[in-house]
Amino acid sequence: MSADPTQVLAFETDCHIFDGCGFPGPGLHSFLFEPIWGDTDGFYFNKPMLLALLGSIIIVGFFWAAFAKPKLVPGKLQMTAEAGYDFVRRGIVYETLGKKEGEKYVPLMVSIFFFVWMLNLWSIIPIAQFPVTSIIAYPAALAGLVYILWMSLTFKRHGFVGGLKNLTGYDKSLGAILPLVMFIEFLSNVILRPFTHAVRLFANMFAGHTLLLLFTIASWYLLNGIGIAYAGVSFVMVIVMTGFELFVQAVQAYVFVLLACTFIQGALAEHH
């Protein structure tokens, strides 16, 4: 059986401190799931995939319901959707790319923002209780999409030679250190940036979910004898960490899209 985090508390339900059993702490096993359909030797479908699919349906359904029949005087749903859309459009895309250049990228950035945010939010939703972005494949796929767009725009705007100059920070006025600068810039732009773009989101959600699991399991494990007092403290930490995770989940969606816009801005900028 896999160590599905929604089933962690079912692990030896009568096991508490002073009972002679060890603390069933979270670990990498907490991020592994048995297939819902298929098997791991071939094609399969598991819980994170299901949550990603449901997240996509929820986002599409929300905006479809909000804008299918838009009104001049918006209702609460349309107003909420417009506020979210406008936040990404004006607060991220326009601020980074400008209105003229940025308008064409607004739909993509809005989609990425709400998709990432929804995948993060699953962490604190009952039954689901798992942030899909804590599995590196999902942030990596999104970062890969941004990377492909970034590289395509770079060479489309500047041509092959100009694109290489853009990515390597070519500036002949640097003199003897130019080769070193070009190597560092190439390494940073072409290899490290897409890696850190994905890992930043993954690492934050992985760490946050691990801490939530740790305090949740500890709250149950300490329910015995004098450990009850510590269980109360641990449960308070669960509430505090849940509130903090809500903040981090939104911030990480914001940062992911902000970086994506920054990469695009660099691709469109004129090389000097």
pLDDT in tens, the chain (272 residues): 344 444 444 444 567 777 667 777 788 888 988 888 888 777 888 999 999 999 999 999 999 999 988 888 888 999 999 999 999 999 999 999 999 899 999 999 999 999 999 999 999 998 899 999 999 999 999 999 999 999 999 999 999 998 888 888 888 887 888 889 899 989 998 899 999 999 999 999 999 999 999 999 888 888 877 778 888 898 999 999 999 999 999 999 999 999 999 999 999 887 54
Which tokens in the block code for residue 72? Answer: 């001049």
Q: Which of 4, 9, 98 minimizes the C-alpha distance to 51?
A: 4
- Report the relative pairing of strands 44-45 and 37-38 from DSSP bridges: antiparallel
Q: pTM for this one?
A: 0.88
CA separation, residue 254 to residues 97, 117, 119, 248 (Å): 15, 8, 13, 10
